[in-house]
Every structure is written in C-alpha cells, then in structure tokens.
Amino acid sequence: MPERVVSFQGQSFHKLRRSYQRRGALFKDPLFPASAQSLFFKREPPPGLSWRRPREICKDPRLFVDGISTRDLHQGSLGNCWMVAAISCLASEPSLWKKVIPDHVDQEWNPKRLDLYAGIFHFRFWRFGRWVDVVVDDRLPVSADGALLFCRSATPREFWSALLEKAYAKLNGCYEALEGGNTAEALIDFTGGVSEPLSLDREALSLHSDQRRALFQTLAKAHERKALITCFIRPAEGELVESVMECGLVRGHAYGITAVKKVLVPERPCTGRMSRLLMVRMRNPWGTTDWTGAWSHGSQQWQQITHTDKEKLGLPFLFEVRVKEEEVLICLQQEDRRMRRKNGDGENLPIGFEVLKVEVNRWSRVQSVVEQAASSVYMDSRSVTVRACFSPGRYVILPTTFLPGATGRFLLRLFSHSRMQLHELTEDLPAPSVFHCCLPQPSVVTTVHLRRVTGLSVPRQKGHFNKSNTFLTFCLNFYCLCLFILFPPLFLVVPDVYAVVRCENDTIRTRVFKAEGNPEFNLRTIFYRRYSNVHISIEVCLILIALHVTRARTHKESLCYIILSWALSNS
C-alpha cells in the first residue's frame, strides 16, 4: 500500500519547478518569504542579517558533497540542538533520510545544465498519519560576516542540512518555533515511527546490575534493528542548561547514539581473566566539547581492547519479546501545536490513556471499569508511550485528556510482534441482527468471569490411579482403567482441558490448557440476553490422548482421543 503524501499549503513541487524553469526565473516562496516574519515572532533579527541564495554564498554549491554523513552538521545560533541531533541520527540510515529528502539525485545542482535550476527544493515530514511535502526556495538567512545564521554543514558548499532546516521551520511556522523542542518529536517527524522514552535516573539502575544489563540489551536490540536513538542530560534543580560537566558532556543538549557494543577487557593482567564491558557511543552534533572521562578519545583504557574489537565498535532498533504473553508498544499522539506559537497558542494538552481487559466477545463501548491492564501518566508532550505485556484476551484503550472538557485530535498506534487490528467502539449496544424486527430487544446484560477449574487430577502412566474422591477424578480413573484393560498395558495419558460458555445462540470457548493443577481460564464474556429465563451453561471439557505402544519389534504408535465434558448451568 503506497504511503500517502500531501502537499503542504497546496504547493506542488513539480508544478512549481516546471513553471519557473519555463520562465527562466528563480522561485521565491510567497508563503515563507525572506523576511523577519519567517525568522522570529518574539525577538528582532540580528543587525546585518541578509538572505542569500547558495550561489551567492559560494561558487560551486551542492546539495551533497561526498554523500551524507552524521558529521556534516553544525547547529548555528538557534537553540534547536534537539532537531540537529535528530537530523544527525537520520543521516546514519539511508533508507530513512531518502524519505525525508525525496528525489535527492534529481534535486542536486547540475553544473552542465544551470538553465534547469529554479531555486526550489522539497522535503517530506511525517505528520499525524501522513507524509507532508514541504516546498522551499533556496534563500537562506546569513549573518553580517557572510556565514549561514542557523544549521550548516561542515563543508561550506554543502546545503542539504540548511535547506532541510528551512523546510522544517516552514512546517512549524518560523525558525524561532524550533527553539526548545524534543528530539523524540523530531525523530517521529523524520521517520513516521514511534518514540519510546527510557529514564536513566531510576534508583534501580544504580543499585541493581541486572537492571543495567536489561537496559543495555534493550538498546543493543534496538540499535541492531537500525532504530534511531538519542539521549540528553536533564539539568537538576539549580543547574544551568548548556553548562559543561567535568566529564565534558553538556547539560540539556541532545546526543545521538552511534554504537552499542559489548567488549572484553582484562580483569587482572596477571590472571588472564576477561570481563565484559557494556559500552554506548554518543555523538555531539555541534562538536564543541568532547567526553573527557574513562574511554574518551586517547585514554589508556583503549589499550585493553584488541584491534579486532576496536574495528567492530561501529555497529549500527525495535523492541519485540514474544513468550506466552504479547509485548505491545502503545503510542498516543496529539496534533502538533508548535506552529501556533506565533499566535501565543502553542501549548500541548496533557494527555494519557488506560488499557482495560474486557470480555472476549465485547463489540460495544465500556460502561464500567472491569480490570485495568496498563495505564500511562498524563503528559503535555506530543506523544505518550507505554510498553506492556498482555495475556491473551481482548482489551480496550481509553485515550483521555487530563482536563475535563478539553478536546483535540489524536492518533493512536500499536506496535506488536503479531498482527493486531484496532476497531473503534462507537455503539453502546451490539448492532441488531438481520432479524431484529422479529426478535425482542435485549433486556438483560450478563457478564460471566470463568476464573479456574479445581480438582483435576489425571493419571500419567501405567498402574498409577488417583485416590481423590471428586467426581471428575472418578470418571478419569474409570476411563483410564478401561484403556488399561482393553489395550496392552503400555500407554500414556496426555490430558488437555478447555471450557465452553453458552447463552442463547452465543457460544464462547476458551483456549486449551494442560489439565494439571488448577488451570487458569480467566475468561470474561458478556451476553445481551433477550430471554432472561434461558439458562447460561458452562461446560468443562477434558481431552484424553491415550498413546498406545505395541510390543512389536518395530514400534507403532496409535492415538486414542476421548473427550469428557461436565456441564454446569446457571440462570
């Protein structure tokens, strides 16, 4: 299914470029003009600022010089390190940046056909379930000394990063709207993926080594699957943003993670024993300060690692664990309000959600809370994410705003290993059947919660019978005795059990469990009953698989299936 792409503010890149190529003129964007309104909404532009096209800045401009690299970027005089760090991560994965910079070969300058250059570029960003194509002209803000005012590449004649930043500024209203953002939001805009925050200030991480190893495994799996990972240091109370720590890291700045690696280092030189070191490599996109602590560039610790391991420290993410439970990543996202900051209305709504485990046959809205399976905290961020494990069953997600009466558009996404489908519950009652005109309306709503079965005890091998006095065990012993008499005395009984709940024309069956101990069905069902005098029946069915082995030289196996059921009824 092709991805949906819409033109931002109705501007079609290909139509505009063909039009200006025929006219032999350079494009001037009327919707994002080269003026102060495109720069700031609170402060005045710096003195001496001007707008210039790339050919007015250097002689031989290029969109890319020797490809695209994470080392291409410098932040400039705008407080948007969050976006620069996201772009730096984006540059590490070609399949992702080629979506953001479409037709990158076609958009490149052609020195042999300068007549085809129209001064127009386009970039794509993911917004609220669709890709938005943003058109910009090539006029860039330049300071009094002739240097680009904002984001720029390390190579003076390379302009992809400056033009990408301009398109992102246009999408958000102006350049100043990019100050003080969230790297996770930029990564969503650049990839269409989901962001999952991981807090490192939890006390458990500092006290328990197994918690640190679990965090490292999460990062390693994510990085191996080519996810984009960033990190930043949240300033504590009394600490200044952008203050440099003793180790060389900067508080409040965003860093891109470029490698996650496990290496072996000598524990003690005399013993020859090796220990595993868990390492995460970060990159500073603006490149003014470096890490100066252990394992920094040129430190003696690097002498402990073999040359082979040094070469492997450049590995380039998705979290999926599948056991009996299903791990699901749930992301609730609200419409971005950054573009409203120019009008003084750019604050996000505090949003969150609850996940309720409901009846397996529910298709209508939830009227009361049954069992909470997971929940998020309320946050005024653009997206709220929760990762949780769910046992088999049906669940309802309830997105809400913290403030009563506050409304807004939202996007709900689920990520899981197995295929899942989302359905919006819009009705308070199930849809009527095709014969609803001939049948009475439901008069009673009944929920059934089948928790477990107790008293099951099954013989596992020849000559072993149970002495329990329960009726279930008596029947099991009787059948096993018949098998023991009718067949040669070498058999093994492999028992399974399931339950069936019946009400009027509805039948709900549990999955099959091993009939050992007290099987936990934990089945919730709901019935909209037309006839209150018709009983609800619950059947517990036991499947015995008798494995018969002959005494011939070449052993042959035969299976005998016996299904026993006990029915209970309740009105």
Hey, which residues are catalytic here? 81, 253, 284
DSSP code string of 88-122: HHHTT-HHHHHHHSTTHHHHS--TT-GGG--SEEE
Bridge-based pairing state of the strands 326-334 and 410-416 = antiparallel
If phi > 0 it is left, if psi is from -120 to 50 it is alpha, else beta; for residue 533 that is alpha
Distances (CA, A) of 224 to 189, 217, 236, 255, 309: 22, 10, 32, 18, 17
Q: φ and ψ at 291, to 5 degrees?
A: -65, 130
Q: Please list, in sequence order, all residues whose beta carbon lies within 8 angstroms of the beta carbon of residue 264, skipping any fewer than 6 positions away.
A: 274, 275, 276, 277, 305, 306, 309
How far is residue 339's CA from residue 316's CA, in Å, rounded to a whole number? 34
Print the SS3 string covering 297-353.
Answer: CCCHHHHHCCHHHHHHCCCCCCCCCECCCEEEEEEEEECCCHHHHHHCCCCCCCEEE
- Cα angle vertex 32, ends 128, 49, to 5°? 125
How far is residue 124's CA from residue 36's CA, in Å, rounded to a whole number? 24
**CB 528 within 8 Å of CB 429:** yes
Q: Give the CA diameter of the chain.
A: 103
The Cβ-side half-sphere exposure at 53, using a 13 Å CA radius, reads: 16
Nearest partner of 93 among 312, 280, 315, 413, judged by Cα: 315
Q: φ and ψ at 501, to 5 degrees?
A: -110, 125
Bridge-based pairing state of the strands 394-401 and 506-509 = unpaired
Rg (CA), the chain: 32
Cβ atoms within 10 Å of 501's Cβ, excluding its own: 23
How far is residue 387's CA from residue 161's CA, in Å, rounded to a whole number? 33
